[in-house]
Amino acid sequence: MVVVAQLVERWLVVPEVAGSSPVIHPNVVDLAFQAMNVSSTVTESEIDLSEQSRVAPDVPWATTVWNDPVNLMSYVTHVFRAYFGYPKPEAERLMLRVHEEGRAIVATGPREEMERHTEAMHEYGLWATVTRAPA
Amino acid sequence: MIVLELDPVEVQLLRELIAQYEELVTTSEVDPALERLFPTAYTDDADAAAEFAQYTRESLIDIKTANSGAVAAALEADHVVRLSEEDAEHWLPVLTDLRLVLADRLDIRTDDDPVPDDGLGDIYDWLGELQSTLIEALDGPP
């Protein structure tokens, strides 16, 4: 990896709106530091899945997303909205569950579908696993 | 449309990071960062984990390199980068993956691990700020 000693925050993100002056958004530096906790010491077998939500009856498999110290809260919320199509409040609720409890079940259903979701989370750089859904 | 105005040195940095990233994700060598880029899908079933990895690794590599290729291509033309929302969706996972690799190199494994106050730590933070800025441009303020 290259090492660049000093990088000045010089980029500007300007939403282009026809007929109006561009608005320069200030950098949101603080968000970069809202990294998420990790709970690497927690193993699946230690989880009381009965506490989790989004569990429909008769669906024996689940996709669980795990906390990590790298991904931004806003990114995790974004992924839940973009991939699963969850409304913002639901996406934020799940993100906070991941953040505060170390993991959250984000979907339940047939095993193959849960594996597809898990693979998709890995595409996004989130760590997800396939688990047995709680009874 | 999002207009991303990067400093030329930032463009050079991103291109260098992406070149190294593409080398990493396609290597057959063992690297601890790869365990996070291609994490296990089953923590309690080694056979299922191996099978999942066998069937998903290639397509994950394809998607990750397609994303990084899209970023690299956007950086080819100009240091002022114009991105549609769809374009930006290719950038976000690349920025996350670069940070995941750096976090491994910087030994950032838990929330209690500080970001080192050095060049690599600065890059780690800068990538996060860039990602955060793009997300805000896409989704609005938090």
Alpha carbons B124 and B95: distance in angstroms, whole number: 10
Task: Say what the alpha-carbon torsion angle A86, A90, A95, A98 is, to the nearest 10 degrees.
Answer: -110
**How many CB pairs below 8 Å do chains A and B form together?**
182
A58 occurs within a structural domain = yes
pLDDT of B9: 94
Using one digit for the tens of pLDDT, what is the confidence trace for B15-28? 999 999 999 999 99
Helices B8-26/B119-139 angle, 10° precision: 100
pLDDT the model gives residue B142 = 74
Give this complex's ipTM. Answer: 0.96
By C-alpha distance, the chain A residue nearest B38 is: A122
Amino acid A76: pLDDT: 98
Restricting to B residues 79-138, those with a Cβ less than 8 Å away from any Cβ of A are 89, 92-93, 96-97, 99-103, 105, 108-111, 113, 118-120, 122-123, 125-126, 128-138
Residue B59: beta bridge partners? none
Q: Which of A7, A81, A118 sits opposite B123 (nearest CB)?
A: A7
What's chain B's average pLDDT? 96
Per-residue pLDDT band at A8 (split at 50, 70, 90): very low
Q: Which residues contact A128 (CB under 8 A, 6 or more apart)?
A: A63, A64, A65, A66, A106, A117, A118, A121, A122, B39, B41
Please indicate, yes or no, if residue A86 is contained in any of the structural domains. yes
Query: A53-109 pLDDT, tens per residue?
Result: 455 556 699 999 999 999 999 999 999 999 999 999 999 999 999 999 999 999 999
- Residue A39 pLDDT > 50: no
Range of the domain at A71: 35-132
The pLDDT value given to residue A15: 45
Q: Residue A109 domain-assigned?
A: yes
Distance CA(A129)–CA(A131), nearest Å, equals 6
Q: Per 3-state DSSP, what percentage of chain B is helix, strand, and coil (rounded to 5)?
A: 70, 5, 25
Residue A5: Cβ-neighbour burial (10 angstroms; 0-12, 13-18, 19+)? exposed
User: Phi and psi at residue A52, in whole multiples of 5°?
Assistant: -80, 160
Determine contact: A129 vs chain B, CB below 8 A: yes
**Which residues of chain A make contact with B134, given a CB cutoff of 8 A?**
13
Per the structure, the count of domains in chain A is 1
pLDDT of residue A11: 45
Per-residue pLDDT for B136 more than 70?
Answer: yes
**Structural domain includes residue A30:** no
- Asked if A8 has any chain B CB less than 8 Å from its own CB, the reply is yes
